[in-house]
Amino acid sequence: MTADRVDVHVTMAGNLWLAQVDGVAGGMSARTLRELHADVAEGLPFLFGDRERPPSPIFHYTLPGLSEQDLDDFAALQRQAAAIAEDYTRTLKKRVKHMHELGLSDSDIGELLGLTKQRIQQIRTNANDEARQSG
């Protein structure tokens, strides 16, 4: 625990999620993980009322057969997938625009890119909408 962060250890007992905040007696429980996260966020200002700002929670999960490293690895994979998806979308929009400027039909563009004519129309419509909004 540092001044601006506090470790929160989370486990399950039956159908309840349990949280233990480092340096605080007792704990919190909730039926859902989302509810537990909200309860912890709402409780920290009261638990650390002597500080100008409450610490940010750093959650640590202990679940059978699932390590924190497993969760961290999956989060990293999610970030990579999001970056790839963003790059794909940006590149796809550029390619569709360029091919359309060359005079290719939506059907032919779709055939070249392995997409349906409807998807190409949707991409062009969205690109036109975005251009109007920014212009």
Residue 15 maps to a domain:
yes
Q: In this model, does residue 119 exceed pLDDT 90?
A: yes
User: Domain boundary residue among 20, 41, 64?
Assistant: 64
Beta strands 5-13 and 56-61 are parallel
Q: How far is 1 from 14, CA to CA, in rounded Å?
A: 28
Say what the pLDDT of residue 27 is: 93
Say what the pLDDT of residue 111 is: 97
What pTM was computed for the model? Answer: 0.63
Q: Are residues 25 and 54 part of one domain?
A: yes
Say what the pLDDT of residue 75 is: 93
Q: Are residues 85 and 45 part of one domain?
A: no
* Predicted confidence (pLDDT) per residue in 3-52, tens digit: 799 999 999 999 999 999 998 998 999 999 999 999 999 999 999 988 88
Q: Are residues 126 and 106 part of one domain?
A: yes
Q: In this model, does residue 2 exceed pLDDT 90?
A: no
Distance of alpha carbon 9 from the chain centroid: 21
Q: Are residues 80 and 56 part of one domain?
A: no
Q: Are residues 83 and 45 part of one domain?
A: no
What is the span of the domain harbouring residue 100? 70-130
Residue 13 maps to a domain:
yes
Residue 135 maps to a domain:
no
DSSP letters of the chain?
Answer: -BTTEEEEEEEEETTEEEEEETT-SS-EEESSHHHHHHHHHHHHHHHTTTSSSPPEEEEEE-BTTB-HHHHHHHHHHHHHHHHHHHHHHHHHHHHHHHHHHTT--HHHHHHHHT--HHHHHHHHHHHHHHHHHH-
Q: Are residues 81 and 105 part of one domain?
A: yes
* Predicted confidence (pLDDT) per residue in 25-35, tens digit: 989 999 999 99
Query: What CATH number is given to the structural domain containing 13?
Result: 3.30.2390.10
